[in-house]
Amino acid sequence: MMRPELHSIAASFLVLCCFGCGIRVGGRSREASVPRPEDELKFDVLYRQNCAGCHGANGRNGAAMELANPEYQALVDDASLRKWIGKGMPQTQMPAFAISSGGVLTDKQIDILVQGMRRSWSQPVQVDQPARPSYAEIQAGDPTRGKAAFQTFCGSCHKNSKQEVTSPDYLALMNDQAIRSIVIAGRTDIGQPDWRNDKPGKPMSDQNVSDIVHYLASLRTSTPGQPYAEQWERTE
């Protein structure tokens, strides 16, 4: 007859074997309790794991675009959101997340992110507001006109190097579409007005937006963070 202490040792050994081999214990297995990454289908979890670090915990107050801004959600279409999430946005810090582009998300997970943003952050569009400028550029912009428009619509906040959006280094991290989106949608989380401006009755036109984008793009440098040619010449 087996002694009591041997019964205890044998029982402990059996439990360890069951967990180590993934045998079902009490109706569950250890493997079943840990879902595979591609099986995660909850918007909140997917957003927290992949988006919150740049766009903010609730779509606001992040370093990147304010995704919870209703004006941005009304501006951008589903196809563009899927493209930027899946393939990344060239000339910006937005990486590609689709597995087909070297990322970690399936097409279904990307769809869940897009649908979750719409469900969480979209609001009905005001029917009596002026026509919103288009998401993509329709009319070619002019940098000279854009400089004047920048002073008219943006200068009160950005003059004297306050919030240096005219910095060549900053602009090197923003492609034209990213600039256009922020100019139109604004950023409510940091108090930046949208295209309707903070001057009643003086919203930006589609042409104003295109001109401002081209003006800012003309200030961009191809060597961000590095000394410029004229600086080298002054030190030689």
* The predicted structure's pLDDT at residue 131: 85
Tens digit of each residue's pLDDT (9 = 90 or more) over 66-79: 999 999 999 999 99
Weakest-pLDDT range from 60-69, 174-183, 198-207: 198-207
Residue with the larger pLDDT of the pair 183 and 30: 183
Mean pLDDT of 134-158: 91
Among 117, 125, 133, 131, CA closest to 78? 117
For residue 89, the model assigns a pLDDT of: 95
Q: How confident is the model at residue 28 (pLDDT cuts 50, 70, 90)?
A: low
For residues 77 and 37, give the distance between their C-alpha atoms in angstroms, rounded to a whole number. 27
> Per-residue confidence at 94, pLDDT binned at 50, 70, 90?
very high
Confidence of residue 155 (pLDDT cuts 50, 70, 90): confident
In the chain the first and final C-alpha atoms are separated, in Å, by 95
**Range in 24-28, 43-47, 57-61, 157-161 with the lowest mean pLDDT:** 24-28
Q: What is the pTM for the complete model shown?
A: 0.77
Phi, psi of 180 (to 5 degrees): -60, -45
User: Mean pLDDT over residues 181-185, rounded?
Assistant: 95
**pLDDT exceeds cutoff 70 at 35:** yes
Separation between Cα atoms, residue 52 and residue 131, nearest integer Å: 31
What's the pLDDT score for residue 6? 47
pLDDT at 165: 86
Structural domains of the chain, with CATH:
11-36 (no CATH), 41-121 (1.10.760.10), 143-218 (1.10.760.10)
Residue 47 parent element (H or E): helix 43-50
Which residues share a beta bridge with 25?
A: 28
Give me the percent of the chain exceeding a pLDDT of 70. Answer: 76
Q: 187 by DSSP, 3-state: which?
A: strand
